[in-house]
Structure 1
Amino acid sequence: MGGQVSVQGLHVVVVGGGFGGIAAAQELKAKQVSFTLVDMREAFHHNVAALRASVQTGFAKKTFIPYAATFGESFVQGRVERVDTQGLKEIKFTHLILCTGTDGPFPGKFNTVASHQTAVQKYDDLVKEIQAADSVLVVGGGSTGVEMAAEIKTEYPVKKVVLIHSRVGLADTELLASVRQQVKEVLLEKKVELILGEKVLNLEQLKLNVTQKNTALTTDRGTQILTDLIICCTGLKVNSAAYASSLPASSLAENGALKVNAQLQVEGFSNIFAVGDCADVREPKMAYHAGLHAAVAVSNIINSNNGKDLTSYYPGRVTMLLAMGKDDGVGQYSGFKLPRQLVALTKSQDLLLWKSWKEMEQQSP
């Protein structure tokens, strides 16, 4: 099930078709190694562009790329409920690459069993909700939250956009202080209202992503907020459902990520690898890093099969680009702050969609 005749006795199962998963699958395909890619969706989600898809009508169709058109019978749609570490049941494997990523609230994440069209429609529906709202509250000032607020305000400059964050500092803590300050400056320039160092009370009881005029809420410091629409950009967590019940506790970090050695092998196993956000590697969770992990994992599967030395992965200095709407951006490369216009040109305008369509060997609609 799910692949060509095994090459050199190998059959690799890749669990999760995010950035790490498709990078691993493409590496295996190029090296003519038999593999099966498993994902719950019909199409790869270029979620780097998910927030743009939330504000622009018709944009979402560019962010979902069908797996089957690229991987054929080597793709299987489904949710992995359990990992048989011996690879003897259901979809058999000699090696396993876990790329289950992180999960979080829509629209930043879309991790659910769904058809291609259903996924696209979900984003198009949110565009209509945002268009119907006069005011939007974005909860969470990490990387996703600041990008969301910037996207809304860029596309709809007359709407009132408020961003509330439990900390005083915005964006990812691994970014340079000067870059995080620049994030704040861009949001203020775009007239986003900031409420920092406060939390929304009873967030779990509030209706998200649906316009309800003049919804009232209160922060833990007593600040009263009236808004038409609430979008949550907090609560990102490792997506460990596929393996948490079947791998030993000694293989898991406290947050559910998989402990790995320098060769990205899961602790206690020589034939199971972790790639991307679910790997317990000290670096920001980014698509770029997932691709680097995938190359190391596939190389090590082939090297181990051929009796060669394994390759090690070492995190580098932080590189991160934040798209602050289609016309602006902030970020750093290898620890050095970048000019805003450069980030806007390299990432913000297209959100690197061209790269995913090229890697998936398909034409963007």
Structure 2
Amino acid sequence: MAGQTNWMQLCSGISDTLRPPLRERSLSLASRFEKEQRIEMEKQEGNRVVILGGGVAGSLVAKSLQFHARVTLIDPKEYFEITWASLRAMVEPSFAERSVINHRDYLTNGDIVTSSAVNVTETEVVTADGRQIVYDYLVIAIGHADPVPKTRSERLNQFKEENQKIKSARSILIVGGGPTGVELAAEIAVDFPDKKLTLVHKGTRLLEFIGAKAGDKALKWLKSKNVEVKLEQLVELNVDSDKQNIYQTSDGETIEADCHYLCTGKPLASAWLKETVLKIDLDSWGRIMVDQNLKVKGRSNIYAIGDITDIPELKQGFLAQQQAEVVVKNLRVRIEGGRECMMETYKPHSALAIVSLGRREAVAQFPFLTIIGRIPGFVKSRDLFVGKTRKQMGLDPHTVQA
């Protein structure tokens, strides 16, 4: 018994001896964890990047900075869309499975606020649902006002409905002879050659945003596909004309069509900025004035990219993506404590455009050359850069989201 008691005392003594060091070690680990958390919070403080707009430019900024800053993306919809593929999705709805992408698929380490911004101050963004989101750096990429559904599934269903409308129509009217109108007419003419297509444009030629040769080549191509093109005319669109499927032009001509598509320019999404601190940063067109680093002129921590800017160049998706890459580099310089001289500048590009003409052909304008046919079509028309854009966003170029 005596031996047994001694062993118990010995074990008790060992336990008493070990308890304080174990407690101290536990407290030490907890203290270290708290310290690391505090350091991480201090690192993030000053690196809060808020991005307004989840289009091809804003989404790329969010994706690229998500592991370098505390990123918040504010967008009224839950997805971003490769917009130059939208017309193909109208004739082939399954194409949208790859071109309409939920924000959470690529933004795995950032916050997503599904709401519209309604106010901007010097330090925060206020959203339509009442949230106040503080920023250290703000990137404005709101582009044009384009009413689209909130969810990806709703957008995919919208393409299916448009496709059914095209399929069931015998005659279709397209209003607008810019890139959208020309590309839509071409998509329908190639996939549904039995449809009677009429394109009406108020200008003297098609594709007025680029050279006359490109417009002339596009006109000739459309006519070869039996698309009737009426230039220098307007169309009266109202409830009665839609009900009767009869449309009057400014020249007094009558056009019968089972449905119509309005492919004219959309307004910039900057009207609400006129009631904010940024009202002095808008030009007479409502565009945000930026400097060579893509900072809003006169401001040190607010940037703007894409169609919303006053950069003197064609407003195209691939240029907005290039601007996004410049802003990402410049924000990383700022966040990592680099000097102003290390920031990258953005130089406006000369006129360069490729307008798809169905699945295999396109018309392209380069600085010293305009060509049409399968060579430019090989560059753009087959996949419309969807695979390339998905890869740029860190996604599989071919896999369709379930």
Establish whether TM, by shorter chain, passes 0.5: yes
Equivalent residues of 2:49, 2:137 under 8 A apart: yes
Alignment of 1:247-326 (within 5 A): 247-304=277-334, 305-309=337-341, 310-326=343-359
| CA deviation string 1:11-52 (max 9, x = no partner) | 11111111111221233136x222111211111111111001
* Superposed counterparts of 1:9-48, under 5 Å: 9-29=46-66, 32-48=68-84
Per the alignment, residue 111 of structure 2 pairs with: 74
- The answer (yes or no) to whether the contact 1:317–1:335 under 8 Å persists in 2 is no
Secondary structure in 2 matching 1:138:
strand
| Match status 1:220 vs 2:250 | yes
Deviation at 1:185, TM superposition (A): 1.4
Unmatched runs of 5 consecutive residues or more in structure 1: 105-110
Q: Which residue of 1 aligns with 2:378?
A: 345
Instruction: State the Cα distance separating 1:274 from its structure 2 match.
Output: 0.7
Deviations 1:300-357 (A, max 9, x none): 2333442332322111212211111112111123453245212211110111110122
- Between stretches 314-323 and 88-97, larger displacement belongs to 88-97
- Of 183, 186, 189, which residue of structure 1 is paired with 2:221? 186
3-state DSSP of counterpart to 2:256: strand
> Alpha-carbon deviations, 1:80-110, whole Å to 9, x = none?
1221222276121101000001135xxxxxx
More deviation, 122-131/329-338: 329-338
Taking the TM superposition and a 5 Å limit, the aligned residue runs for 1:137-286 are 137-173=173-209, 175-201=210-236, 203=237, 205=239, 215-241=245-271, 243-286=273-316
Matching residue of 1:107: none
CA contact (8 A) 2:361 2:372 kept: no
Could you say which residue in structure 2 is the equivalent of 1:329? 362
Deviates more, 1:161-170 or 1:261-270: 261-270
Shift of 1:218: 0.6
Q: Percent identity?
A: 28
Contact 1:144/1:233 (<8 A) preserved: yes
What is the RMSD computed on CA atoms of the aligned residues?
Answer: 2.1
Higher helix share: 2
Distance 1:206 1:360 in 2: 45
- Secondary structure at 2:107's aligned position in 1? helix
Structure with larger Rg = 2
What is the match of residue 108 of structure 1? none
Whole-Å separation in 1 of the counterparts to 2:368 and 2:238: 37
Q: How many residues align?
A: 349
3-state SS, counterpart of residue 124 of structure 2:
coil
Larger RCO, structures 1/2 (Cα 8 Å, 6+ apart): 1
1:109-128 matches, cutoff 5 A:
111-128=147-164
Distance 1:39 1:249 in 2: 21
Question: In the TM superposition, what is the alpha-carbon distance from 1:207 to its structure 2 partner?
Answer: 7.3
Equivalent-residue separation in structure 2 for 1:77 and 1:338 (angstroms): 42
Normalized against structure 1, the TM-score is what?
0.89
